[in-house]
Chain A
Amino acid sequence: MTNYFDVIIVGSGPAGVSAAFPLVEAGLQVLMVDGGREASLTLSSQSYLSKRFEDEEQWKWVVGESFHALQKMDAVSPKLRVPAHDYVFDDFIAQNKIKAKNFVPVGSLAKGGLSNAWGCGVARLSTDELVDYPFPESEIAKSYETVTRRIGISGANDDDLSDYFGLDAWSQPPISMDLLHQRMFDQYASHKQELASLGFQMGRSRVAALSRNIDERKACDTSGNCLWGCHNKALYSAIDDLPSLMKHKNFFHKSGFIVDRVVKNNEDLAIEGHDAHEYMTFRASKILLAAGTLATTGLALRALKYESSVKLQSCPTAAFLLWQPKMLGAARADSFGLGQLSFSLKLPGDITAFGSTFSTLGIPMSEFIRHMPLSKRYSADLLRQLLSSCLVGNLFLPGNLSTTEVTVNADGEMNILGGYSSNVSGLMSDAAHRLRKSYWKVGALLMPMSFTQGLPGGDIHYSSTLPMQHNPTLGQTDANGELAGLAGVHVVDGACLSALTEKSHTLTIMANADRIGRILAKQIRGIN
């Protein structure tokens, strides 16, 4: 391997691989580096329920041999407690020198990045939403299609959210719903009009989980292991894209390499960093930052020596519990563990909320017990009867309601100060009220006291620290993600999104990375 490349991509997550494909396919010499953490727990193909009832050693994957789940007891999300995902989040905060206040910083040094442990929510930005972006919609439309077809998205359904998601033309049919969701969706069909007047619309969730095989990856078999790791690889992870990139002789992958800094001397661009053994430098004519919003922001601001604060858009989030009284006594059965039904909810001030509902099965009951206002013993008694007729839901508001700020000081330390604008709590209680009314119409009771707002950052829905702008100033990027003040360095991950809507943003990050990849491929090919 030489140490000079046409393009270096920092990070092998969804953004990194999406930018890589067009560049590699154009024949450019591309080096991709990542932190190299990999899964160590192997996953059995048994269904979740049968494992729980039969596996004597289940504590190893539920709690972890070094008590991972207990060590992370204060973490905000059950996802962060799953032993199999330990490697995804491990050491990120320390390596990136992050200190956070009122914010939950999450990132990854894993091969494939955060997509190893994501909720697979996908959506396409509408024409209106793309107004904030400094490029014509036509530029990204093709990229949405390319990425959607590549990663495999299920949920195509002629329903009230078809336009909202905007992906059905390229998607697979939905994965089958569990009884509770099915019943709720049936009820919705007969109350559509009333609910529309409440601003509530419901449809199948569009998720990056397969209902049809794609190559090595198999369709979801509803074994209920989504949270714990899918043996079918039905859930998209960027790591599954690496083999097809590897087939190209002009693609180089240096795993286990942590970038310390991006340097520019005259016209010469380079990344400096280390693997387990030595300090190394790689040079290139273009550097693409795809290390994840926080890590990329750190690398960019350090390279720019920019010490003022930048804004981080972060979606205000909430979670809630729904109970379907008529389903009390329902049997426990394995089912798809990610979003099954989604909703969009109109709020005052032209704000839209988005959310999905999930089965409670794959989530340990202790996660619910912890939040119950009862003693543990009787919480367990109660939930044992109750949870089989319950669903959990989440809710996202647009990221521009965040007041979170990020600074990188002269020592390279990143400080994050989280916060939401003052109208968020009002919007949240309004949303809770509307959801309670809406769900009641479809036979579900939004459980009192269950609607809980999350800590800023906790749901990993944040972006836009270095937003793409028509006329970028220092700390911003142009339409191609190129950093103002650091020509040749492009930001291609969440950090460069011009705006963060309430919708799941991963697909947009990927499409945008693909778009920038295409443009750069043309540019470099043109120059050569």
Chain B
Amino acid sequence: MKILITGSSGYIGSQLVKNAIKNHHQIVLASRHPYDDEQQWVYFDLNNASSCTVPESIEAIIHLAADTSGNDKTRRYEIDTAKALISAANEIGANFLFVSSQTAREDAPTSYGRTKWRIEQEVVAANGLVVRLGQVYGGPERGLFGTLTNFVRHLPVLPAFIPSPEVQPIHVDDCAEGFLKLVDHKNMESGVYCLASPEPISFTQFLRSIAISRVRRRKFFVPVPTFLVKLTASLIGKKLSASLGLNRLNSLLDLPLMNTAADLEAIGLKLRPLSAGMHKSGNDRRCRLIQEGTALLAYILKEKPNSALVRRYVRMVEKLRTGAALDIPVWMIRWPIALSLLDDRASSSLWQREEFAWRIDAATIIAEASRQGAARFLGSTKTMWPLAALSRMIVAVISEITWRLLRLVIPSSTLHFSKKKEL
């Protein structure tokens, strides 16, 4: 469909444009200056309600533009502009989606939150869609996520606020997918939709996830009482705390909890887990594939495979198969010998099982075609005492029998590939 997007140069906006194009939507960028020659552009100024003319061919408007500067004087222009966009949408029969904030409340402490709330009222009154986003993360290091990542990267120690505020993360690409699903859906009920992980996590946990998966460094956390932040913010005054980012931090500290499960279900949006989304690529697909390759190759080779072999395995799965790791139980990945329990061709016809059988065959071929593999597979170029060879064969057979017996004893539920959704 043809979608007009305001605020398309921002953190969420630019990812939205990327995702929309990937899904073969036509895009019209609405901004003060054209910045992308490839996309259609119309003039739009958030502070000038009469600035925007919406082309008639537009089927949906996603209104993302917002003033995050904290300048209270221009807030009312924002409301007028939103109203103008809403009526333009109504005129041409386009869907209207307004991206609001978790802070939107009639009595919000910031004018930002109050403005968002007022626009929400207008949108819902005009049968439009409103989205409140949780803690957006992932993708390029921009927006609040960018600021936090920067902190994590550069600060020698990180604050662990006590009591810890809770955040509900959502990956920026999941936001984009959600927006597109909402406007694409013909009969979506007008109202406020909350997009974020249904289970809140502590802010400290969120920072730690950035440290581990994004910045890839272990960080020390120092407990900081929450009231100190609030106190500092009020002591140094609005202007200074704004320039230090303290007001944003402050608003983060008392976010209302959102109930998102029902909304996610209604939209049909499945969020990626934080551990996956925090990786630079937006998922931990590769990381899991490396673990899988390491485990399968170690199972075959009976020793740690060298990294070239693992890379080859990963490239192979990416080139010839789905590119996704299988849901092999974690304890088997840690303890590859236990893969013997799954390495049983005759077992189930489940897709994952069949795919596992294919991959273990492939891993065998890849493992063999290496110096490490030659040493493991070819045997000796010197004659061996037959009894020694025989005894090793007997050990192999006994091991096989042992694992077969274990297969019978171990409850099959622990051997199942988990039913987790694949990325």
Contact = CB atoms under 8 A, between A and B. Distances in A.
Interface stretch (B121-129, B196-204, B327-335, B369-377): B369-377
Contacts of B344: 375
Contacts of B396: 374, 378, 381-382, 385
Contacts of A375: 340, 343-344, 400, 403
Given A73-B358, A73-B361, A377-B343, A366 B382 contact: no
10 contacts: A53-B371, A59-B369, A66-B319, A70-B316, A73-B361, A329-B385, A332-B381, A375-B340, A381-B395, A385-B392
A332 B376 CA distance: 13
Q: How large is the interface on A (under 10, 10 to 19, 20 to 34, 35 or more residues)?
A: 35 or more
Contacts of A59: 312, 366, 369-370
B257 interface: no
Contacts of B319: 66-67
A370 B369 CA distance: 15
B231 interface: no
Nearest to B402: A378
Sort A-B residue pairs by CB-CB distance and give the 3 closest, nearest first: A381-B396, A62-B369, A329-B384
Interface string B380-413: 1111111011101101110110010000000000
B400 A378 contact: yes
Given A59-B369, A331-B384, A385-B379, 7 more contacts: A54-B371, A56-B371, A63-B366, A331-B381, A332-B381, A383-B377, A388-B379
Pick the most buried of B376, B377, B395: most chain A CB atoms within 10 A of its CB.
Answer: B377
A52 B374 contact: yes
B377 A331 contact: no
Nearest to B379: A384
B252 interface: no
A67 B314 CA distance: 12
Given A378-B400, A382-B393, A384-B379, A329 B388 contact: yes
Interface string A55-76: 1101100110011011101000
B215 interface: no
Interface string B289-301: 0000000000110
Given A53-B378, A375-B400, A376-B360, A331 B383 contact: yes
B340 A70 contact: no
A117 B393 CA distance: 35
A56 B308 CA distance: 10
Nearest to B358: A73
A93 interface: no
B362 A70 contact: yes
A364 B365 contact: yes
B188 interface: no
B264 interface: no
Contact of A378 (B371, B379, B397): B397
Contacts of A377: 299-300, 302, 337, 339-340, 343, 399
A332 B360 CA distance: 26
A333 interface: yes
A102 to B, nearest CB: 22
Contacts of A386: 389, 393
Interface in A293-351: 328-333
Given A70-B362, A370-B361, A330 B383 contact: yes
Interface string A485-498: 00000000000000
Contacts of B371: 52-56, 58
Contacts of A383: 377
A49 interface: yes
B370 A58 contact: yes
B320 interface: yes
A385 B386 CA distance: 9
